[in-house]
Amino acid sequence: MRRKSEETTFVLRVTMKKRWMPHFIAMLKYMEYLGGIGSSRQVTLYADGDGDFRPKFRTLFGRKLKSDANPIKDRHGNRVYDAG
């Protein structure tokens, strides 16, 4: 049985090339949609490090993000994260 998690709100500052923004936002919106209808899917954004996808993420206070969450699957650098 899963424990109910406490909700939290945080602000994330993202810097990335403008051409990636619609794809990134679409991914987030789809994740929101899936959560709203109670459906599970794997959602992927191709992070092209050899190209120009070089995002930078900061919290509202300008600090770098830290996480101790481990992926549930890591195959050749293709990682899957799941909290539940």
Per-residue model confidence as pLDDT tens digits over 7-20: 888 888 999 999 99
More confident residue, 64 or 75: 75
**CA–CA gap between residue 72 and residue 9 (Å, rounded):** 24
Q: Which helix (H) or strand (E) holds 2?
A: none
Q: What is the pLDDT of residue 2?
A: 60
**CA–CA gap between residue 68 and residue 70 (Å, rounded):** 6
**Amino acid in the structure at residue 29:** K
**80 neighbors 42 (Cβ within 8 angstroms):** yes
Range 52-76 average pLDDT = 85
More confident residue, 38 or 6: 38
Q: Which helix (H) or strand (E) holds 15?
A: strand 12-15
Q: What is the pLDDT of residue 3?
A: 65
pTM for the whole thing?
0.80
